Amino acid sequence: MIRCLASFLALGVLSVGAQSSWPQFRGPGGLGIGTGSPPTEFDAEKNVVWKVEVPRGHSSPCLVAGKIFLTGQEGEKLVTLCLDQGSGKELWRAVAPAAKLETTHRIGSPAAPTPCTDGERVYVYFGSFGLIAYDFDGGVVWKKELPAPLVEFGTGASPILADGKIIVVADQDMGSHLLALDARTGAQVWRTERAEFRRSFSTPFLWEHDGMAEIIVAGSLWVRSYEVKDGRERWSSRGMARVSNASPVAGDGLLIVSSWNVGGDEGDRVKMEPFGPFAATYDTDKDGTLSRDEFPAGKVKDRFSQMDADKDGLVTRAEYEVMSDMFDQAVNQIFAIKPNGYGDITETHVAWKVDKHLPYVSSPLFYDGRVYTIKNGGLASCYDAKTGAQHYQAERMDASGDYYSSAVAADGRIYVASQRGTVVVMAAGDALKILARNDLREPIFATPAILDGRIYLRTEKHLFVFGQ
In degrees and rounded to multiples of 5, residue 344 shows phi and psi of -80, 110
Per-residue pLDDT averaged across 275-289, rounded? 96
Nearest to 254 by CA among 343, 340, 357: 340
**Alpha carbon distance 398, 379 (integer Å):** 8
- Rounded-to-10 torsion of CA 237, 239, 241, 242: 60
**Domains of the chain, first to last:** 16-261+330-466 (2.130.10.10), 267-328 (1.10.238)
Q: What is the pTM of this model?
A: 0.94
Q: Residue type for 149, please?
A: P
**Alpha carbon distance 304, 287 (integer Å):** 18
**Alpha carbon distance 52, 415 (integer Å):** 21
Q: What is the pLDDT of residues 259-272, one digit of tens each?
A: 999 888 888 888 99
**Would you state the pLDDT for residue 447?**
98
**Alpha carbon distance 344, 220 (integer Å):** 15
- Rounded-to-10 torsion of CA 458, 461, 467, 468: -140
Q: Residue type for 445, please?
A: F
Q: What is the pLDDT of residues 291-331, one digit of tens each?
A: 999 999 999 999 999 999 999 999 999 999 999 999 999 99
Q: What is the pLDDT of residues 53-80, one digit of tens each?
A: 999 999 999 999 999 999 999 999 999 9
**Would you state the pLDDT for residue 298?**
93
pLDDT range class, residue 10, cuts 50, 70, 90: very low
